[in-house]
Homo-oligomer: A and B are copies of this chain.
Amino acid sequence: MLNTIAPGAGAGIIVKKGERLKVICPEGHQVSDMFCFSESDYGESLSSSVSVDRAEKIFLSAGDVLVSNRGNVMLKILGDTHGRSDFLLPPCRESENGHTGCFENLSSTFLAYGISADRVGTAFNIFMNVEVSAEGRLVIHPSEARSGDYVEFEAQMDLVVGLTACAHLLTNGGSLRPIQWEILPQNA
């Protein structure tokens, strides 16, 4: 079943070990922020730097894994038609947007599971287009995702996933669009 996250909104998704989560950019040029916790122990959550360390690179794609603060693999990237996602910048906030941001959307999603907003860390920025200069300067460009681009993950443990249709105007080329997702059964 294909689910749609409205522009600027978020969703909470339970993904069981072995299931696949497909995150789709239906109209192109739209970023999706993803953060997650182990469903069996909320003390274990996604770690940007441990994931980057494992990959030995900033931009993660098919074949790379997303790793927890305890060093365990949470998600494996099975497929990626776009090829550019990162952990560089934090979820956008109401204080910078002037309207509800990914941080607020992720926080309210996880609060429904009893997880404090303080535990929402650096999200995986799917389809995001951040330029890193030779001197390490960061410049946000509009997402270059095309209509239908997707990233498919396979859960390596039971997870509570928070997913957004990013609410930051610059990141998404000046207007907000939906994100779609679906759960697919374990690969045979």
Using a CB–CB cutoff of 8 Å, the interface residues on chain A facing chain B are: 43-45, 47-50, 52-53, 56-59, 69-71, 86-90, 93, 95, 116, 118, 120-122, 132, 134-139
Q: Which residues of B contact A48 (CB under 8 A)?
A: 48-49, 122
| Smallest Cβ-Cβ distance to A120: which chain B residue | B69
Establish whether residues B50 and A90, one from each chain, have CB atoms under 8 Å apart when the complex forms. yes
Establish whether residues B56 and A137, one from each chain, have CB atoms under 8 Å apart when the complex forms. yes
Establish whether residues B47 and A137, one from each chain, have CB atoms under 8 Å apart when the complex forms. no
Selected from B52, B90, B118, the residue in CB contact (under 8 A) with A53 is B90
A38 to B58, CA, bound (A): 29
**10 pairs, CB–CB < 8 Å, chain A vs chain B:** A45-B118, A48-B49, A49-B87, A49-B122, A53-B89, A56-B139, A57-B137, A57-B138, A58-B136, A122-B122
Other CB < 8 Å A-B pairs besides A43-B118, A49-B90, A58-B137, 17 of them?
A43-B116, A45-B118, A49-B87, A49-B89, A50-B90, A52-B89, A52-B138, A56-B137, A57-B137, A58-B88, A58-B132, A59-B136, A69-B120, A69-B121, A71-B95, A86-B136, A134-B134
